[in-house]
Amino acid sequence: MKVTEHIIKAKGKTLFSFELIPPQKGRSIQELYDNIDPLMEFKPPFIDVTTSREEYIYIDRDGLLDKKLTRMRPGSVGICASITHKYEVDTIPHVLCGGFTKEETEYLLVDCHYLGIDNVMALRGDAMKEEKYFKPTNGGHCYASDLVEQIVNMNNGQFLHEVVETDNKSNFCIGVAGYPEKHMEAPSMDADIRRLKQKVDAGADYVVTQMFFDNKRYFDFVENARNAGITVPIIPGIKPLAVKRHLQLLPQVFKLDIPDVLVKEVEKCKTNADARQVGVEFAIQQSKELMAAGVPVLHYYSMGKSSNIQAIAKEVF
């Protein structure tokens, strides 16, 4: 079922969902299941599975370093299929511009269609670890809006090189990313909102936001988006702060602010376990306020560990 259909079916009740990261190559999918199991009692209608950019590794060959490009966490679509099969829940693979040619994207979407996946999250992807800025892949898309266009075209039977007359067209529901504190590369919030509108006009059906710790940022973002004519659901993304180092790391990586009240509480913590507890309590308050405001879904970034999400969901759902 589509995310938008789940939202309509919920009739105003806030839904619970979360995002998972594939295990590192060679590790077991059981690790993921162990993290999903405790969260199933909160009945997520859908679960997102991220896709990671490829990266360079250096292999020692008799003293000479061989530089190879590889993806450390492959398998997002396969993981989606496995989770759907095991838990009977909708899954959403993240589809990236970066690291994929348009042809590869087409094949990936064909796989998703055959597997009965109804939703995809269309993203540009981050820059590769070694690169300061995002560089489009040769033969790939530059922006998420271009990727949305490709998915919409495929939904209409228009593949990259041929139009296919068929009764078996894909009908993907398309999610895109939104940034309550502005995407780091955008020159202004207004410019970023115009880019978001471009993605929605291209055919995106819903938006999931980057993490934020100050709900006002989300409420202002939604207001700005609505004023710009964006009418699709805007799902807040929540990341519970989990270790003391997140105070530096999250603002550095995601260019976001952490409210001083949370900073002070975390600074008082002696251990990471204390900080994790503060993060959980803060996320509970944040979630309750968002729920009271009638958000369609609370979407949690689990970063591979579910115990804090479980503690939050127990209090909120």
Binding site for ligand FAD (CB under 6 A): 50-51, 53, 94, 96, 123-126, 143-145, 177, 183, 185-186, 192, 195, 199, 208, 210, 237
Q: Is the C-alpha dihedral spanning 20, 91, 30, 109 positive or negative?
A: negative
**Which residue number, 146 or 265, has a Cβ lying nearer to ligand FAD?**
146
Report the run of H or E that residue 234 belongs to, with start and end.
strand 234-238
Give least dist CB 134 to ligand FAD, A: 6
Give least dist CB 174 to ligand FAD, A: 11
Angle 272-292/215-227 helices, nearest 10 degrees?
40
Give least dist CB 60 to ligand FAD, A: 28
Chain centre to alpha carbon of residue 243? 21
**Which residue number, 124 or 244, has a Cβ lying nearer to ligand FAD?**
124
Give least dist CB 255 to ligand FAD, A: 10
Q: Which residues lie below 8 Å from residue 107, measured CB to CB, with a gap of 6+? A: none
Pairing label, strands 15-20, 206-211: unpaired
Q: Which residues lie below 8 Å from residue 38, measured CB to CB, with a gap of 6+? A: 306, 307, 310
**Which residue number, 122 or 278, has a Cβ lying nearer to ligand FAD?**
122
Which residues does residue 180 pair with via DSSP β-bridges, in sequence order?
none
**Which residue number, 96 or 238, has a Cβ lying nearer to ligand FAD?**
96
Give least dist CB 64 to ligand FAD, A: 31
**Which residue number, 152 or 186, has a Cβ lying nearer to ligand FAD?**
186
**Which residue number, 237 or 296, has a Cβ lying nearer to ligand FAD?**
237
Which residues does residue 18 pair with via DSSP β-bridges, in sequence order?
47, 300
**Which residue number, 166 or 227, has a Cβ lying nearer to ligand FAD?**
227
Please report, as a single letter, which amino acid is at residue 187. Answer: P
User: What does the block give as tokens for 254?
Assistant: 């995601």
**Distance (Å) of CA 260 to CA 176, 195, 288:** 30, 30, 20
Give least dist CB 50 to ligand FAD, A: 3
**Which residue number, 199 or 276, has a Cβ lying nearer to ligand FAD?**
199
Q: Which residues lie below 8 Å from residue 4, measured CB to CB, with a gap of 6+? A: 173, 205, 206, 232, 233
Distance between CA 8 and CA 5 in Å, rounded? 5
**Which residue number, 14 or 51, has a Cβ lying nearer to ligand FAD?**
51
Give least dist CB 93 to ligand FAD, A: 9
Are 108 and 170 within 8 A, CB to CB? Answer: no
Give least dist CB 9 to ligand FAD, A: 22
Give least dist CB 117 to ligand FAD, A: 15
Are 169 and 113 within 8 A, CB to CB? Answer: no
Please report, as a single letter, which amino acid is at residue 121. Answer: M
Distance between CA 171 and CA 160 in Å, rounded? 16
